[in-house]
Structures are given as C-alpha cells and as structure tokens.
Structure 1
Amino acid sequence: MIAMGDALLLDCEDTAWFRDRPEAARGAAAALGRRIGLGEHRTAQLVLAVTELATNLAKHTVDGSILLRVLRNRSVAGVEVIVIDGGPGMADVPAALRDGVSTVGTLGLGLGAVTRLADRFDIHSLPGTGTLQLARFWPHPQPLSVAGEAFVAGISRPIGGEEVCGDAWAARGDEPTPEHATVDDAATNSASKDTAPAVLDWSAMTAARPGGSSHPRIQRPDRLLRPGIGGRSELVHDAAAASGRGVLVMSCDGLGHGPMAATASQAAIQAFRTGVGHTPAQVMEEVHRALRGTRGAAVAIARLEPGGRVLFCGIGNITAAVIGADTRSNLLSHPGIVGHQMRRLRTYEQQLPMGGALVMHSDGLSERWKPGDLASLLHHPPALIAAGLLRLAGTRRDDASVVITKGAW
C-alpha cells in the first residue's frame, strides 16, 4: 500500500463469487472475518450486512452476483463486498436507504442499516439497468492507513465452471529519484535479447546510499510515441518517468483459462510487484523474463503521474483507454505474447482528463462500450466503476478482468 495524500493502493486477495447462493455468501463472509482478525463483533456485523445484501439480491434482482474479497495493506486487512445485478434497478435510492424499508420477507433491516455497519458504502442504481453496491469492513477502531479512498481498483472473474481466473490486475506506487527519471541513451530495445537488466536494491529505490555509493542506472528499452497533430503520432526517443511520485498499473490475461493461465498471470503479478523498473516498458521487460516457461500472457502496463500524464505500453489483446464523461482515447497495444515473443516496445503518452479515468481490461469484456456508458459512474469509487463495466461488457465465456484508475492527485 502506498499513501498519496488521502488516496490509497490496496492489494486484493481471496476473491470469491456467489450467484443464487445467499447462505454460501454468508458462510464465506463469516470465515473471512474470522481468518483475517476482524474480531467477533465486527465479523458478526459483516455477516449481518452480507445476509441482507444477499437476500435482497435473491428476492429482487435479475442475474445477481456477490463478490467477497480481502483488502490488505502492510498493517491491516478488511473485507470488501460488491453486489452486481442486472435489474430492475431503484427509482428512489434515498428511500431504499431509509431504515426499516424492506419487502417480501427480508430481515427488515433495510440498506440503511448496511450503510451504518460498513466503514464505506456506495451505491449506483438505474431503473431498467440494475444496481451496484459496495461495502467495506475494517477492524474497529478503523486504522488511519485506510481512511482514504483507493484510486486504483479492479475486478477479475473466472470463466463459468472454473474456480481460478487466468486474468489479473495489480498496482504499485513508484517514486524514482531524479537520477532514475533520466534514461541511458546507449540503451537499445532488448525485447528479443536474453541479457539481464541493471538491478536496483531497496536502498537505491528509497534514495538511501549505503557507503556513499551512487545510484545504478536502469537501461531504457522503449521509445515514446506522443500524440501529434491531427491524430498522428510522433516517434520520440528516451521515454522517461518523471521524478517524484507515480503509480504503475498492470492488466494481465494469461493465455487460455484455468490453472495454467492463472499460473502465468500470477507470475506476472509477482514480477510486477517486486520489479524495479519505472517506465511501463522497463516493467514489461521484467514481466517478460518472469513469464518464460509459462503459457505467456497479454499484458498492458501504465504509469500515471501528477498532472494526469499517462505512459502506456501494451503487448497482446488488452483494451486500454483514457475516458472522460463523453470522450474516449484508446491506447494501442502491439502484437505478441509476453514471455515468448515481443517486438520492439513502444510507449504511448496520453493525458488523463479532469474527472476522468484510465480503463484497462482483458478480452473477457467486449471493447464496444462507450464513455457515456460509464459517465454516471465516474464520481463513484474505481471498484464500482469496474463492476459497472463488467456488468455491461463482460462475458461468461472467458475469464474477465478490468482495472480502473482515477486521478490520484
């Protein structure tokens, strides 16, 4: 977890989906609460909320699902509950949140009680479209380290009939020193070479210099393509991460589905989290080496910086776009299989609009969505935006994963 002002990066784990099984969701919530140390009272509150949400889902909605997962930083773990349904939606959300509003035999608590039990509750509903709900539960008293809202979040869902998902996403903070923000002009693209890159230790990443040694330099394997006049791109050498804080985000689609695809995506996640590269292409090289010996994957990596600058590098069939309320600027991925064959890496630069978001998703979601489809969701947390896009464009005929990054500064 990296704190940036009031924003957070949180890891997600132990993801479980439930459809038409309220009792299973209730039991899983109880087990998760006990295992991560929420405490007896807080776990009971979590179970009560999940029971109400699951019962409402079963009685009122169409094609509903519940996602339970653990959110974790270095010091604390909590449980996040996301509820997705395809209709009928709510015409009066404030009325539904009032105490005691419950129909057809639910617990009689109403969503108002869920909002009070949860540390964070958010809801989006449109008549005829459906409802999205998010609730988070942390140990009490709530740690200050999770008091803000995460600005990167995603959702992964396995193909029907599988327990594991071959698609995945991850995010990590990045803060290169001024020395590392520059690039080595002598470096050339090494996507097809087996030479190892320069390796940085933790002291170098944090600007500590034991023994007065200087920082090693990272070789740069990429070139930067900046948007040019009339939609054309101008090839510019020496792509570099700006000095200071930034965040790296990855979307990964292991080839195929099932355990072997999941093995590839988890190898990519591990390499991403432990890597030392600062530009998307540097990180892509690290992931490429880690995926040798696996099926390989389609991978897209972005770096977001203060002021809304986005650097992007993609290999394979990952859809990526920077969106505003009524705009969508696609980011180009190039053919190849990370871990097996990559051509020359290219990095694209784009500007994140005020109030906009960066969207990356696997081909388990159709790319035929429009920015207007998400416009009413943009002021909600990234996890709820991801849930909305999964409901809109996701298919159960393939693994699916989507990650949303909103402006972090």
Structure 2
Amino acid sequence: MDPLSGTGWTVSPPVGDTLWIRAEEQSSPSGVRRRATELAERIGFAGERLGQVQLAATEAATNLVKHASDGEVALSIVRDGTAALLQLVCVDRGPGMADPARSRLDGFSTSGTLGIGLGTIERLADQSGLYSVPGTGTVTFARFRQPGTGPGGTPPFAGLTRPLDGETECGDAFAVREVDGVVYALLCDGLGHGPLAARAAQEAVRAITAAALPARPADLLQLVHRRLAPTRGGAVAVAVVDRAARRVGYAGLGNVAGWIVGDGRRQGMISTPGIAGHQARSFREQSYELPPHASVVLHSDGLTDRWNPADRPGLFHRDPLLVAAALMRDAGVRHDDRSVLAVAA
C-alpha cells in the first residue's frame, strides 16, 4: 500500500462546530432548531433539505421535553477532509423505552400526544439510530450529509467531545480514519483544560493526520510525543484496529483509557505512565485479539472507568455513535473535559 497522509481523517469538531444544548424547557425546541439551522447553513443546506433538518431538530428536542428527564442535544459538523455532515445526538436519563421498535412507528406515543417524532426523524435523516434501556434512558442520533456529496457510506467509528462546563474550548481531541479496512485512531487529553489544553490536543491531531500510513501505534505515538514538546503536553492513546486480521495494536502514554468490549465483558489495553511531549521513558506497543462483534473504545479521564458493559445489553454491537453517546452520558460524571472514540469491529 502506498504511503498516505493529510486528507481522509475525521477529527473532533473545533470550537463553533459543536454545541451541547439542554432540552428541558418548553422553549428548548425552538433554541435547538435555531442552532441546527446555523450549523446546517454553514455547510450548504438550503431550501427543502434545510427545512427537513429543522423539522428533525424540532421533533428531537420536543421528544426530550415531553418524554425524558435530563435531556440534552449535541449538534456537530463532522468533517472527513473532503465532505461534511450535520450530526444530531440526543441523550436522556429516563424513563427509557420498553419497546424501541414500536416507539419508532408513527402514531405510537407514551404521553397521549401524536407520536410522529421518531419516525419522522428516521425518514428525514440519511442515517439514524436508537438505543434505549428501561429505567436508564435513551440515546438517538441522526446524520444529514452535506448537499451534493452523494450517498456515502457509514464509517465504522464515531467520537464525541465535550468541554468542561463554563469553557468554550475542549482540551480533548480525537482523529480517526480507515485505510484498506484498518482503522487508525488517536485520542488526546491535553493537560488541564481550557485553551492551552486544547492547543496540545490539536497538535496531537495535526501530528497524526500528517503521518504517512501504514504505521505502527508506537511509531505514531512517538511522532505525537515530539510534536507536543512546545505545548503543555497530554495523555495520548493510539489504536490500530485491523478488522480483517481481528487484531488491535495499541500504544498509550498517560491516563487515556483503552478498552476492547464485547459479549458483556471488557478488556483493558495497557498504557505506560508519562506525559506526551514531556515525560516518556518508552513507547510500548501491545497487540490484542479482537473478538467478533466487539468495539474498541478510547476515552479520556473525564469519564470514570467504572462502567460495566453488562449493564448495556446489545450496545456494543450497535453504531459507534450510540456507544460514544451512551458512555458520555453514563460515565462522563467528572468535572473535566470529556471525550469518547468508538470503533466497531
């Protein structure tokens, strides 16, 4: 395979390209609609297709206000270097759905209102998904491709970032791409939070997106380490997921968590102590077997590692965006920047 560099990477959205909006008040749907319109227009949505995005955003937020508690909407522009899409993610903490498939049918409602929201969103979006556990809550997503970019495919990965409350810049960042069935994934947690942490994380992204591929995880980690020297540094993990060979190569420095998750169990991947850019005695690389229908998950220490896959039946067989969103909701309880990157095997 010829060396590759530059384009083709999906990276965490910069400031202004991602928004987290609480949806608990009667006025929330109009606010979500307005912000979705702003992001959609920025990447070329207009006319009828813009109206469909507006309708989906309104329905999604209305569902949260009517049926959920602690509802939130994440709106993002997701770019892969050549195209973009508008991504809408909804999370809540209850009451969940006993029959998610039935809840997607027009006319079904648990509140006595006209149940058209979920079915409408599914028809309007280019891609959508839903995961729900009774008593825990529901996660949904919808993706709308940039006009004029063609049908595209569904990538086997997805990530989410969220800054510390009160901050506008997130000190966590990720970068991911697939090359000939092999997924290269990086997650960086810049030391501390705020603009200086964000600068470190973005330098890590720039380093890996400029690297020639194929490459080993330890070599990519070493490139990132050198690039972060002028910054405050951070914790970094690099995973190379070979889906055909059923193997994961992994190299980590610091306290980014790496997991292989499937069949109600998880296996931790080993990182070495240190701070990328400043303290690194070695760049150790480990290789792990990748079970069928598993997921590879990287997350920053803004999420606790005390989550149990057995409490989320079937989640890790689903779209990686559902995995990332559910973990962000359930484990993202620490007062810090938060990020999750999931890769489907």
Deviation at 1:140, TM superposition (A): 5.5
Paired residue type of 1:87: G
Query: Which residue, 314, 319, 325 being the options, matches 2:252?
Result: 314
SS state at 2:314 partner? helix
Deviation at 1:75, TM superposition (A): 3.8
Deviation at 1:170, TM superposition (A): 1.1
Percent sequence identity over matched residues? Answer: 43
- Aligned 8 A contact 2:11 2:173 in 1: no
- Aligned 8 A contact 1:42 1:139 in 2: no
Paired residue type of 2:270: L
SS state at 1:336 partner? coil
CA spacing shift, 1:280–1:138, aligned 2, 3 Å: same
Q: Deviations over 1:34-71 (max 9, x none)?
A: 11012321111011111111111122211111111112
Give distance in 2, aligned partners of 1:63 and 1:171: 30
Which residue matches 1:371? 309
CA spacing shift, 1:12–1:168, aligned 2, 3 Å: closer
Which residue matches 1:26? 33
Paired residue type of 1:55: T
The residue correspondences of 1:137-176 to structure 2 (distance < 5 A) are 137-139=144-146, 143-144=150-151, 146=152, 148-174=153-179
- Aligned 8 A contact 2:9 2:81 in 1: no
The residue correspondences of 1:336-355 to structure 2 (distance < 5 A) are 336-355=274-293
Which one has a bigger Cα radius of gyration? 1
How large is the RMSD of aligned CA atoms in angstroms? Answer: 2.1
Which residue matches 1:114? 121
Deviation at 1:139, TM superposition (A): 4.3
Q: Deviations over 1:338-368 (max 9, x none)?
A: 0111111110110110000111111111111
Which residue matches 1:284? 221
Paired residue type of 2:188: C
Give distance in 2, aligned partners of 1:33 and 1:107: 27
Give distance in 1, aligned partners of 2:298 and 2:90: 21
TM-score for both structures, normalised by structure 1: 0.76
- Aligned 8 A contact 1:302 1:312 in 2: yes
The residue correspondences of 1:267-278 to structure 2 (distance < 5 A) are 267-276=203-212, 278=215
Unaligned runs of 5+ in 1: 1-7, 176-244
Query: Which residue, 7, 17, 20 being the options, matches 1:17?
Result: 20
Give distance in 2, aligned partners of 1:75 and 1:138: 12
Give distance in 2, aligned partners of 1:263 and 1:107: 47
- Higher deviation after alignment, 372-381 or 339-348: 372-381
Give distance in 2, aligned partners of 1:107 and 1:326: 36
Query: Which residue, 166, 183, 198 being the options, matches 1:262?
Result: 198
Deviation at 1:374, TM superposition (A): 3.8
Which residue matches 2:101? 94
SS state at 2:186 partner? strand
Q: Deviations over 1:186-205 (max 9, x none)?
A: xxxxxxxxxxxxxxxxxxxx
Deviation at 1:371, TM superposition (A): 2.8
- Aligned 8 A contact 1:38 1:78 in 2: no
CA spacing shift, 1:35–1:141, aligned 2, 3 Å: closer
Which residue matches 1:200? none
- Aligned 8 A contact 2:303 2:333 in 1: yes
Paired residue type of 2:285: T
The residue correspondences of 1:9-408 to structure 2 (distance < 5 A) are 10-13=10-13, 14-20=17-23, 21-102=28-109, 109-139=116-146, 143-144=150-151, 146=152, 148-174=153-179, 246-276=182-212, 278-305=215-242, 306-407=244-345
Deviation at 1:104, TM superposition (A): 6.0
Deviation at 1:325, TM superposition (A): 1.1
Paired residue type of 1:252: C
- Higher deviation after alignment, 159-168 or 19-28: 19-28
Give distance in 2, aligned partners of 1:108 and 1:354: 37
SS state at 2:119 partner? helix
Give distance in 2, aligned partners of 1:81 and 1:59: 18
Deviation at 1:15, TM superposition (A): 1.4
Paired residue type of 1:333: S
Deviation at 1:110, TM superposition (A): 2.4
Paired residue type of 1:166: G
Deviation at 1:100, TM superposition (A): 3.4
Unaligned runs of 5+ in 2: 1-7
CA spacing shift, 1:140–1:352, aligned 2, 3 Å: same
Give aligned pairs, total: 329
Q: Deviations over 1:357-407 (max 9, x none)?
A: 111111111111223134421221101111111122112511111111111
SS state at 1:150 partner? coil
TM-score for both structures, normalised by structure 2: 0.89
